[in-house]
């Protein structure tokens, strides 16, 4: 440390302000490097970028649910939010001769619901329409 005399040649005054300046400098450097570290190596950056999509894992999940008796529902979850799901349901209803709707699920977002076991039909239709690749489709159920 350089000894300099300030404020009426008071050595203690100079020593105190050098000490304060060094600590302020250290605090500023610590703050700067901590923020630079998080900007460069943010562990949640991928999660924040992917938060816009409704697709959690890049897969389109097709499930079948048993209602009463022989009645079943087919649900499609994970389609991209850039598609108009109501138009997709309208086209599927005509193609498969079944009823369907779009429901809002609290965890999965918008989900397509089709009456009957339409798992194979919807898989073929999604790949034919180019809405999903065959390796993106995950079929669940019995």
Output the pLDDT for position 107.
86
Which range, 17-21, 23-27, 38-42, 117-121, is most confident?
117-121
Q: What is the pLDDT of residue 50?
A: 47
pTM of the model as a whole: 0.59
Neighbours of 13 (CB within 10 A): 13
Helix (H, G, I), strand (E, B) or coil at 77: strand
- Which three-class secondary structure state does DSSP give residue 126? helix
**Two structure tokens written together for 31:** 């703050």
If you write DSSP's letter for every residue of 51-74 in order, what string do you get?
A: GGSS-SSS-EEEEEEE-STT-EEE
**35-39 mean pLDDT:** 60
CA distance linking residue 83 with residue 94, whole number of Å:
18
Distance of CA 108 to the CA centre of its chain: 11
* pLDDT for residue 52: 44
Q: What is the mean pLDDT of residues 33-48?
A: 58
Q: For the chain, first and last CA: distance in Å?
A: 77
């Amino acid at each position: 440390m350089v000894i300099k005399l300030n404020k009426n040649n008071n050595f203690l005054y100079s020593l105190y302000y050098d000490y304060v300046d060094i600590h302020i400098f250290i605090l500023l450097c610590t703050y700067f490097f901590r923020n630079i570290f998080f900007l460069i190596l943010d562990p949640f950056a991928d999660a924040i970028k992917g938060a816009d999509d409704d697709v959690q894992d890049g897969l389109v999940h097709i499930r079948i649910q048993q209602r009463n008796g022989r009645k079943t529902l087919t649900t499609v979850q994970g389609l991209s939010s850039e598609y108009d799901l109501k138009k997709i349901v309208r086209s599927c209803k005509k193609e498969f001769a079944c009823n369907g709707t779009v429901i809002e699920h609290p965890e999965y977002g918008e989900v397509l619901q089709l009456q009957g076991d339409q798992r194979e039909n919807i898989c073929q239709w999604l790949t034919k329409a180019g809405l999903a690749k065959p390796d993106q489709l995950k079929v669940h159920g019995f």
